[in-house]
Amino acid sequence: MSDSQTEQNVAAILGASDAEPARAAALAVAVRGASKTYPNGVRALESIDIEVREGDFATLLGPSGCGKSTLLRMIGGLSSPTTGSVVLGSVKQPATSGASTTVGLRGQTPGAAHRKPGLAFVFQNPTLMPWASVERNVRLPLDLMGEATGSAPRVHAALQLVALNDFAGVYPRELSGGMQMRASIARALVTEPRLLLMDEPFGALDEITRHRLDREISDLWARRWLTVIFVTHSIYEAVFLSTRVLVMSARPGRIVGELAITEPQPRAEAFRLSERYARWCKELSEMLAAGSDKSGAQPLSA
């Protein structure tokens, strides 16, 4: 493939131009009055009301076990709310249970959702197929959607986004933990999702790698038309990445506060060392402690 063709594919994944897009305020996700009780009786979430706007980098922050992953999985349609509803864009589908969940994104019919999902997940474990090359791993969602034909330029462009194009032919075991995670992100981006759901994606990595991937995902988000919902229990990571942080209490998880991190994007390493960063972290830490006090749980340390 020629360099100009690759550039066109990268540009397609990034959006029409590399310029900072005007942030529209359309609703990307709305969770209304949602609760979740698992069949074993664990009440994971209670009365969740959140709205995420297109272009947000929204982070769910709270102590382990407070229901962050449960909420993310509900937003991604991997789990249904026990009560209440989850709406992506303007498309809502009733769930069989009587509560509501969704499968489609704005502008898509639910039936089209399986062909072009509009959302993608990145989990803490990169979950790469060990017997397949990086290229084949990244191509997997296109294979599953029946779009394998002519997929090479899209795979190449996704790998270029995460700077893994020189590693297309290698196997996951040959990659470092950070590179495996970048392959997992490329696999998510290859479908050109509008909504990226990330469940503690860098939690298992060493701190230096984690900081580097934080910078890379901040840069990717800022360069393309993408809405991100990110789960972490790290105050530091939440402040570095987010436009908005939604603070959750201990189980059953509730939203106990919200903080808009009004700092320029993408964030550079210098931000981490700034006084402003320390002030945001302090404010968020106090919100978490106040939320924990209200729920009777232990405060969370960063």
For ligand ADP, the binding residues (CB under 6 A) are 38, 40, 42, 44, 62, 64-70, 251
Nearer to ligand ADP, 102 or 249 (CB): 249
What does the alpha-carbon distance between residue 302 and residue 299 come to, in Å, rounded to a whole number? 10
What would the two tokens of residue 87 be?
């709406």
Give the count of beta carbons closer than 10 Å to the beta carbon of residue 230.
Answer: 27
What does the alpha-carbon distance between residue 160 and residue 13 come to, in Å, rounded to a whole number? 11
What does the alpha-carbon distance between residue 182 and residue 175 come to, in Å, rounded to a whole number? 10
Shortest reach from residue 260's CB to ligand ADP, in Å: 22
- What is the Cα 248 distance to its own chain's centre? 17
Nearer to ligand ADP, 79 or 265 (CB): 79
What would the two tokens of residue 136 be?
């084949």
Distances from the Cα of 205 to the Cα of 27, 67, 178, angstroms: 33, 22, 7
Shortest reach from residue 190's CB to ligand ADP, in Å: 26
Nearer to ligand ADP, 40 or 149 (CB): 40
Residue among 138, 119, 24, 126 at smallest CA distance from 74? 119
H-type helices in 65-201, by residue range?
68-75, 134-144, 152-161, 177-189
Shortest reach from residue 107's CB to ligand ADP, in Å: 30
Nearer to ligand ADP, 199 or 216 (CB): 199
Nearer to ligand ADP, 73 or 154 (CB): 73
User: What burial class does residue 225 get, using C-beta atoms within 10 Å of its C-beta: 0-12 exposed, 13-18 middle, 19+ buried?
Assistant: middle
Shortest reach from residue 232's CB to ligand ADP, in Å: 10
Shortest reach from residue 55's CB to ligand ADP, in Å: 25
Peptide bond into 266 cis (omega under 30): yes
Peptide bond into 81 cis (omega under 30): no
Nearer to ligand ADP, 65 or 177 (CB): 65
Nearer to ligand ADP, 91 or 255 (CB): 255
Shortest reach from residue 181's CB to ligand ADP, in Å: 18
Cβ–Cβ < 8 Å for 28, 194:
yes
Shortest reach from residue 63's CB to ligand ADP, in Å: 7
